[in-house]
């Protein structure tokens, strides 16, 4: 196979291509950013007294929004401040969404990467560096995520402060029928769980306890007539295909905690239990 040398160009110095061009390319196909299944919500969004937000993207499932600022050349102070300011305005105006500030630049210097990293513990911020590649047939854009949002810990990492409850609490909060579904799920999981495993009853969820510690690769949330199962897996096309092919009652993917959220009835557990168990097994193996 013949090797072809890639020719990158600087859009900052380009005579005709500009930031507006990059903005339009992303707006037409936000998937090129590689940050998930997102769609364009708005562009050049006016913020009174603060200017215009380049792009507002929203996750296809509707739970997350991304405030995107684009800059040609290297990042600078004004660009970072402006990005955070737009993020702050949007999150206060629409608190029902999970908001992430996104900085896109041709060159995210180490100096400013360090500065952005300092914010990232308190402000969900993502930095993407892009290259413009001359293919001979046109200019292509390649995006690389150089800083991701700080990932949230597993549910069990806060287990020591979880408010412990008991079976009776969940029989009232849910029902005896849905709690029985939890028992059935647990029985199926015994195929791959250590022998000392048990269910762990907490105020907001029922988790798993294995080998003397919490191991919440999946959490169970019994409701009055249905059981919700949150399976901690990365969002991939493979898992999405498994869920859709089995026709599971799929609510959504929660990017905040990295969970596939599925509703399960007694009939579902009987007819689709193999698929549910397969997903839970893979989630458990990823924790090991």
In angstroms, the CA 8 to CA 10 distance is: 7
Q: Residue 176: its pLDDT value, please?
A: 92
pLDDT tens digit string along 105-149?
Answer: 999 888 888 777 777 667 888 889 999 898 888 888 999 988 876
For residue 162, name the pLDDT band (cuts at 50, 70, 90).
low
Kindly state the average pLDDT of the residues 161-170: 76
Instruction: Please tell me which residue, 4 or 236, carries the higher pLDDT value.
Output: 236
In angstroms, the CA 160 to CA 283 distance is: 22
Q: What percent of the chain has pLDDT over 70?
A: 93
For residue 85, name the pLDDT band (cuts at 50, 70, 90).
very high
In angstroms, the CA 54 to CA 56 distance is: 7
Q: Are 130 and 33 in contact (CB under 8 A)?
A: no
**What are the distances in angstroms from CA 138 to CA 31, 134, 152?**
19, 6, 40
pTM above 0.75, yes or no: no
Instruction: Tell me the average pLDDT of the chain.
Output: 87
- How buried is 54 (Cβ within 10 angstroms: 0-12 exposed, 13-18 middle, 19+ buried)? buried
Q: Residue 186: its pLDDT value, please?
A: 95
For residue 21, name the pLDDT band (cuts at 50, 70, 90).
very high
Tokens matching residue 251: 């609510």
Q: Residue 160: its pLDDT value, please?
A: 43
pLDDT > 90? residue 193: yes
| Domains, in order of start, for the chain | 7-147 (3.40.1350.10), 155-287 (3.90.1150)
């Amino acid at each position: 196979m013949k090797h072809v040398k890639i020719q990158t160009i600087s859009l900052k110095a380009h005579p005709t291509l500009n930031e507006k061009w990059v903005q339009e390319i992303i707006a037409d196909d936000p998937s090129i950013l590689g940050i998930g299944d997102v769609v364009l919500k708005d562009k050049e969004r006016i913020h009174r007294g603060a200017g215009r937000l380049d792009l507002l993207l929203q996750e296809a499932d509707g739970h997350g929004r991304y405030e995107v600022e684009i800059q040609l050349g290297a990042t600078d102070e004004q660009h970072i401040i402006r990005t955070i300011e737009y993020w702050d305005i949007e999150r206060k105006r629409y608190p029902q969404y999970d908001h992430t500030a996104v900085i896109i630049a041709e060159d995210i210097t180490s100096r400013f990467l360090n500065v952005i990293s300092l914010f990232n513990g308190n402000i969900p911020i993502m930095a993407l560096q892009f290259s413009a590649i001359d293919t001979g047939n046109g200019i292509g854009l390649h995006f690389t995520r150089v800083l991701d949002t700080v990932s949230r810990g597993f549910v069990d990492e806060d287990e020591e402060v979880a408010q412990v409850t008991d079976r009776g609490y969940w029989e009232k909060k849910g029902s005896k029928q849905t709690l029985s579904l939890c028992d059935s799920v647990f029985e199926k999981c015994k195929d791959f769980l250590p022998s000392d495993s048990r269910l762990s009853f907490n105020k907001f969820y029922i988790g798993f306890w294995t080998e003397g510690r919490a191991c919440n690769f999946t959490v169970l949330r019994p409701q009055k007539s249905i059981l919700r199962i949150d399976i901690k897996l990365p969002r991939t096309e493979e898992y999405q295909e498994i869920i859709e092919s089995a026709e599971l009652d799929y609510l959504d993917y929660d990017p905040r905690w990295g969970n596939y959220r599925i509703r399960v009835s007694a009939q579902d557990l009987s007819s689709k239990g193999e698929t549910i168990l397969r997903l839970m097994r893979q989630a458990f193996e990823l924790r090991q």
